[in-house]
Amino acid sequence: MKPWEANIRRVVPYVPGEQPKGSGIVKLNTNENPYPPAPGVRRTLKELSIEDLRKYPDPTAGALTGCLADYYQVRPDQVFVGVGSDDVLAMAFLAFFNSGKPIIFPDISYSFYKVWAELFGIPYETAPLDEEFLIRPEDYYRENGGVIFPNPNAPTGLLMSLEQVEDVISHNQDVIVIVDEAYIDFGGRSALELLERYENLLIVQTFSKARSMAGMRIGFAIGGRELIKLLQDVKYSFNSYTMNLPSLVLGTEAVRDEKYFRDTINRIVDTRERTKRRLQGLGFSFPDSMSNFIFAAHEKASASELFEALKKEGIYVRYFRQPRLENYLRITIGTDEEMEKLFAFLESYLGNMA
């Protein structure tokens, strides 16, 4: 062993889904939106000039935070933006989880939580989902250093009611509770309405899923002024200019077009509900997803074999080689046309098995 090796921080990194290149690929593996960003985003992108890139962007990200504050009817000093919600969540871990006591999150959940906890040396415990993959609020009643969970949860797609979310928050008023609402727009009720009552609540959302802008990297947190100020302090201690100019300008355009946002979500939700019926007919079972993906297991087919067979066909879905998850595939809702390609392949694959 070389002497410097004793001083290295070793981490097991998060593994993002593949981004395959090439035409004809049906990409249902990273929960991206199959529809393009709002027309105003396209227009504004064309109007960006090379001169705009010469100067530093606005470090306060004022236009974007102001626009989000209007949209969600909070004050601008209650909004914090970052480079995707991954960036916002990482800063929240740094800012809020310093008690030395273990933080709690579900055992089956967004796998980045564990990675950040390990990267930042934050102790953690996981709370197992029940047999039906549901989060049990009682598991979060014990003493802890903070709580985080996605609602809807990933990769199950299951939504907790607002009453259950409040139950967790009200039992944890000594610590910060982060609700990761990456998929809330696909059918859930946001915890935003609880903000008035709980100063320990932080809600994190993203432009990557419902707003069709994963490539732009925009995420945000909404919370009380105090929490937002603490996040700003961490950001300014790290990198004053996390948000580049195109994301500030294009993100603002995306928020302005509420009609496009709602229409796109409705299309995805319609396709999701049709997909549920089709998959059921093909012998799949799944938790009742309220997100833009379905976590499905087949009564006969092995998920890992099906995953490989789909990939050979250019159809990418997500497979997690993990206890309790190894029989499932996480299938992102694409366009109707993309889903038809998936169904056609599944029909022939499962037909040949019989």
* Sites of contact with ligand PLP (CB under 6 A): 31, 84-86, 110, 150, 154, 180, 182, 206, 208, 214, 219
Shortest Å distance, C-beta 277 to ligand PLP: 24
Smallest distance, ligand PLP to C-beta of residue 349, A: 27
Q: What minimum distance in Å lies between the beta carbon of 255 and ligand PLP?
A: 15
Please state, in angstroms and rounded to a whole number, the distance separating the CA atoms of residues 281 and 348: 14
Based on CB atoms, which residue is closest to ligand PLP, 85 or 275?
85
According to DSSP, residue 285 is labeled E
Cis preceding linkage at 155, omega within 30: yes
**Cβ closest to ligand PLP, residue 134 vs residue 214:** 214
Shortest distance in whole angstroms from residue 293 CB to ligand PLP: 9
Residue among 219 and 224 whose Cβ is closer to ligand PLP: 219
Dist. CA 291–CA 204, nearest whole Å: 16
Contact 30, 332 (CB under 8 A): yes
Give the number of other CB atoms < 10 A from CB of residue 266.
11
Give the number of C-alpha atoms closer than 13 A to the C-alpha of residue 150, restricted to the C-beta side.
25
Q: Shortest approach of ligand PLP to residue 1 CB, angstroms?
A: 36
d(CA 69, CA 79): 7
- As measured in angstroms, the least distance from the Cβ of 8 to ligand PLP is 26
Q: Give the residue with the Cβ less far from ligand PLP, 81 or 301.
A: 81
Which residue number, 122 or 301, has a Cβ lying nearer to ligand PLP?
122
Nearer to ligand PLP among residue 37 and residue 84 (C-beta): 84
What Å distances lie between residue 129 and 126, 134, 135, 145, 285, CA to CA? Answer: 9, 5, 5, 20, 18
Q: What are phi and psi of 177, to 5 degrees?
A: -110, 120
